Chains A and B, each alone.
Chain A
Amino acid sequence: MKLDAKIPEGPMAEKWTNHKFRVKLVNPANRRKHKIIVVGTGLAGASAAATLSEQGYQIEAFTYSDSPRRAHSIAAQGGINAAKNYPNDGDSIYRLFYDTVKGGDFRSREANVYRLAECSNLIIDHCVAQGIPFAREYGGYLDNRSFGGAQVSRTFYARGQTGQQLLLGAFGALQKEIKKGGVKMHTRCEVIDIVVIGGQARGIISRNLITGELTRHEADAVVLATGGYGNVFFLSTNAMNCNASAAWRAYKKGAAFANPCYTQIHPTCIPVHGEYQSKLTLMSESLRNDGRIWVPKKAGDKRPANQIPEEERDYYLERKYPSFGNLVPRDLASRNAKQVCDEGRGVGPTGQAVYLDFADAIQRLGKANIEAKYGNLFEMYNRITDEDPYTTPMMIFPAVHYTMGGLWVDYNLMTTLPGLYALGECNFSDHGANRLGASALMQGLADGYFVIPNTINDYLASNKFEKVSTGHDAFAQAEKEAKDKLDRLLAVKGNRTVDDFHKELGHLLWENCGMSRNEKGLTEALEKIPQIRAEFWKNVNVPGSADDLNQALEKANRVADFMEFAELMVRDALDRPESCGGHFREESQTEEGEAKRDDENFCYVAAWEFKGLDEEPVLHKETLEFEEVHLAQRSYK
């Protein structure tokens, strides 16, 4: 395997323009002859499927949901960044690019990030034309707000439901193309495997989730837009059905997996409250603008918050980072919360929470003001916890939220498996080791609306596509493997539920490969994961049959992949002894206990090649060159 990022020549600002001119095009009359499969219909998938269909390609799109509108892009609250500079506060494409590279702790590819910043403005234009009801000012013009990691206001938003509105826009575009006949939509269809013929991705095996039927679909190219792998931790802010299976199958078929250890832990989530808990709920980061984070100074102090006097409270972020205080970046806020809880100073019934206190803000600004700003968040918190944040401090704890790692892709978003593309969260490309707020929506839509429609043609035009039939041996074999795996899962008939195993795996990863990692913990996890996996295959209980709607089987099949993926994630974390972004290695910290990057030895993308389940994967390095943004250690003191 050779990593060729295919970064275009020329100055940064001209690369994308030049590239679009240099790539080969497919004649409009010939586009109809090319079939492209799009897997996943969230922001990236729906926008890609719709746009490619507009260009005249034949599209088949797949989602496991009953409708494309259910994808988890819908849950994004905050907003979408763009370098419009409407507030006239010094923003530019270059600044958005700069902030994103720096925010990503210098582990992303400059050329991709620059292109992302370039596309950001087109996205806003397009989404406004689609009739997305973005927030507006009284003059009728678009409103912007500020977000973490930037000193300008560049975030466009639609109340607290920006992801929903953008997804519904892309969903509408997709429905328009379905109606026209350009897209054939397969709902309640899960992709089980990627089919490779002659070294090219030429199709997929999918499972109809109602009838259980396995079907074969051939195409000239396959586009994965299947999201991240956050659910490997069991508890995360991801939706219940989010999974890494399609990406993992791709990896096993020859696509390199990049930086799997980069996961983002969001600091303001509602804490875990019981064993039965199925998912975590995120609350907007904006709460940290007015809330003060604290824990008791004394370990094991179980008094209620209002009985702990001021001098016995430790406002640890304000103490350690006087200039940024409660507004330090996500990774710092999260890590410090874990640290104080590890010291036994955590609050709440589980001791795994810290206070986010609005008492001072309410006194300063008045309850009415706080209600106007955060009313809906307080209501959400109250609905879940039954506590009133106006009178008792909120309790928060960090939770897995986003994964920066993903399938390795070149500048064209093609993986190392020719004909297989990866868009959105499922690729690794734009966020480095840490993603800034309001950038996920931007990337998903940039990839789908503007990048892939301008790059996939190069592959389609420069390759000859022999007609393949679904009767080909490769299809038969992939289908047989899929069927065997499902049958094996059903045949175990053990004593533990799928969730039970998933929780065990998730807990191990959270402890050993979560907010802070060390060699000992990672080595231990690397030993334990194969044991849990072996136990899973011996003792899992999957009820029902394979030829029916069987949610336990769907879950089991996904968890089986997580069991394998987890090992790669831990291996990658072990292999990167530096600290960067969301990846904090305890061995690599400054004297003050802050993350220390090692640019001399680790300024690369770690892309892993599959060599067999019992073999160690091979590491390929894509060295990152920084021409525009100069490498510097972040400081928020």
Chain B
Amino acid sequence: MSEKINLTLKVWRQKRGEAGGFKTYEAKGIDTDASFLEMLDVVNDEITLKGEEEPIAFEHDCREGICGCCGSLVNGKTHGSHERTTLCQLHMRHFKDGETIVIEPFRAKAFPVIKDLIVDRSGLDQIIAEGGYVSVKTGNAPEASTTPIKKELAEAAMDAAECIGCGACVAACPNGAAMLFTAAKVSQYALLPQGHPERTQRVKNMVAKMDELGFGNCSNEYECAVACPKGIDVKNIARLNREFIKATLSQGK
């Protein structure tokens, strides 16, 4: 059954182009059936009507865990680190009455803060632009059943393709690396025959872009895999490494 709880929030507030800091808010009478973002809605309504400052800016859209918009560090953990759960699907029943919750933006050099809890994750799109697709023009495609694909491969590709691009892997990584994100895309196309003609170029270009944008290096500590709300596995990182080594060895071939 739902009940009402009171919480203290320490929220990161940052204006555009300025340094930020934590500010404390009281969240009173929060229904335990509410989602984390709905709790923030309630707090924002109060801030708005008080009229002393602007409501807390946070990114969100679908609120059903698939668009990848939402995400903050909650008590130091991405999306609050409830296994395989995005922040919008985290419910307040997991918090205790009287608890203090620290909420701050995803931190990484490649994710500069725009305002409050909103960060710029456009780097992830730039990595995809380097080859996170099959270059097929509309109209080029052969009949869909021409190439049978082993069920296991299709399933493994789907495991990788489930990435929602929220950036939690980057924020959770001690090095701010985008390896899991990049690996998921590279893996999807390394597993499926459709991705093979471009596989050499794809992995090289995507890795090069990842480095250029200031993401860190992978030190195989697997924080990303714990943080991923879709449970993308580090086997994809191993596969990315393999693809990269293969691409290097097949130089000029």
Contact = CB atoms under 8 A, between A and B. Distances in A.
A168 interface: yes
A506 to B, nearest CB: 15
A176 B129 contact: yes
Contact of B51 (A71, A449, A541): A541
Contact of B37 (A127, A173, A278, A282): A278
B9 interface: no
B138 A51 contact: yes
A615 interface: no
Interface in B152-167: 154-155, 157-158, 161-162, 164-165
Given A129-B136, A541-B51, A69 B125 contact: yes
A240 B40 CA distance: 14
Contacts of B67: 70-72, 74-75, 239
A130 interface: yes
A279 B2 contact: no
Contacts, number: 222
Interface in A111-154: 121-122, 124-142
Contacts of B64: 75, 237, 279, 281-282
A441 to B, nearest CB: 14
B158 A159 contact: yes
A549 B150 CA distance: 48
Interface string B71-84: 00000000000000
A276 B134 contact: no
B85 to A, nearest CB: 7
Contacts of B154: 133-136
Contacts of B139: 126
B132 interface: yes
Contacts of A127: 144
A173 B69 contact: no
Interface in A173-187: 173, 175-176, 178-179, 187
B32 to A, nearest CB: 8
Contacts of B195: 131
Given A131-B134, A136-B151, A276 B41 contact: yes
Q: How large is the interface on A (under 10, 10 to 19, 20 to 34, 35 or more residues)?
A: 35 or more
Nearest to B127: A175
A386 B33 contact: yes
A432 interface: no
A229 interface: no
Nearest to B32: A386
Contacts of A164: 66, 162, 164
Interface stretch (B102-110, B115-123, B170-178, B213-221): B115-123
Given A136-B151, A175-B128, A383 B133 contact: no
A543 B55 contact: yes
B204 interface: no
Contact of B141 (A68, A129, A179, A495): A129
Contacts of A386: 33, 91, 93
B223 interface: no
Nearest to A544: B54
A110 B141 CA distance: 27
A637 to B, nearest CB: 35
B211 interface: no
B16 A125 contact: no
Contacts of A277: 34, 38
A239 B61 contact: yes
Contacts of B164: 74, 164
B142 interface: yes
A453 interface: yes
A69 B140 CA distance: 23
Nearest to A51: B138
A278 B63 contact: yes
B63 A187 contact: no
Given A70-B61, A279-B63, A140 B135 contact: no
A329 interface: no
A86 B144 CA distance: 10
Given A86-B145, A140-B150, A75 B62 contact: yes
A173 B33 CA distance: 40
A185 to B, nearest CB: 8
Contacts of B228: none
B130 interface: yes
B6 interface: no
B89 A131 contact: no
Contacts of A86: 145
Contact of A449 (B134, B138, B149, B151): B138
Contact of B85 (A67, A241, A278, A383): A383
Given A130-B194, A384-B91, A125 B144 contact: yes
A384 B89 contact: yes
A50 interface: yes
A172 interface: yes
A66 B71 CA distance: 13
B93 A551 contact: no
B28 interface: no
Contacts of A50: 138
A200 interface: no
Contacts of A449: 138
A332 B35 CA distance: 31
Contacts of B128: 171-172, 175
Contact of A161 (B47, B66, B69, B145): B66
B125 A175 contact: yes
Contacts of A453: 138
Contact of A450 (B125, B138, B147): B138
A282 B64 CA distance: 9
A493 B35 CA distance: 29
A598 to B, nearest CB: 38
A134 B138 CA distance: 18
Interface string A555-582: 0000000000000000000000000000
Give 9 nearest A-B pairs by CB, closest first: A172-B133, A140-B148, A129-B141, A131-B194, A133-B158, A125-B141, A133-B157, A128-B144, A175-B129
Given A131-B192, A131-B194, A450-B138, 4 more contacts: A74-B164, A133-B192, A172-B132, A239-B61
Interface of A: 47, 50-51, 54, 65-72, 74-75, 84, 86, 121-122, 124-142, 158-159, 161, 164-165, 168-169, 171-173, 175-176, 178-179, 187, 210-211, 237, 239-241, 273-274, 276-279, 281-282, 383-386, 449-450, 453, 493, 495, 497, 499-500, 541, 543-544, 548-552
29 contacts: A50-B138, A66-B59, A67-B124, A67-B125, A69-B125, A72-B67, A74-B66, A75-B66, A75-B67, A86-B145, A122-B141, A125-B144, A126-B139, A133-B155, A133-B158, A133-B192, A142-B145, A171-B128, A187-B125, A210-B114, A239-B62, A240-B62, A274-B31, A274-B33, A274-B34, A282-B64, A493-B51, A497-B48, A543-B54
